[in-house]
Amino acid sequence: MIDIENEVFNAVYEDLTAKFKDISVTSDYIAMPSEFPCVSVYEADNASYDKTQDSGSNENHVKVMYEVYVFSNKKSGRKSECKTLFNAVDAKLLSLGFTRIAKQPFPRDDGTIYQLIGRYEAVVSKNKTIFRR
């Protein structure tokens, strides 16, 4: 199986921690973080790309999907902080060769936490080259 999750997470982690002080970045899905602001980036899907599978059923490419969850609990400026953090993740993933397929707010009932969710896709070769399609 072709796996680039560590490389992708490390690239995003290094970029975010260099730009933002006191940010929590995780590679796991979390419904609610214990620290804020928080960014979760993880591989949500990794499937064989059958268009390039050879007659021996060898995997030459995979189609991957990453999910990004951004949380802020600031008393004032939650939405703005989320957008700033999301834009930084977006720029990094696009520079790696991903395509954003979704970005949407996720409403919280009590209104004290703002959350954005994003999804990114790419096709990855067995030598770990990332292709937009």
The domain spans of the chain are 5-131
Nearest to 82 by CA among 32, 38, 119, 20: 38
Where residue 68 falls among pLDDT bands split at 50, 70, 90?
A: very high
Domain 5-131: top CATH class? alpha beta
Q: Which of 1, 17, 115 is nearest to 9 (CA)?
A: 17
What does the pLDDT read at residue 7? Answer: 97
CA count, 13 A, side-chain hemisphere, 80:
4
The whole-angstrom separation of Cα 84 and Cα 82 is 5
Q: What would the mean pLDDT of 5-10 be, rounded to a whole number?
A: 98
Mean pLDDT in the chain? 95
CA angle (32 as vertex; 80, 120 as ends), nearest 5: 65
Residue type, 123: V
Name residues whose C-beta falls within 8 Å of residue 123's C-beta, 6 or more positions apart in sequence: 49, 61, 62, 63, 64, 130, 131, 132, 133
Whole-number percent of the chain with pLDDT over 70? 99
Contacts of 98 (CB under 8 A, 6+ apart): 66, 120, 121, 122, 130, 132
Please tell me the predicted confidence (pLDDT) of residue 10.
Answer: 98
Rounded average pLDDT over 2-24: 97
Coil, strand, or helix at residue 12? helix
For residue 131, give every residue at least 6 positions away whose Cβ sits within 8 Å of its Cβ, in sequence order, or none: 61, 97, 122, 123, 124, 125
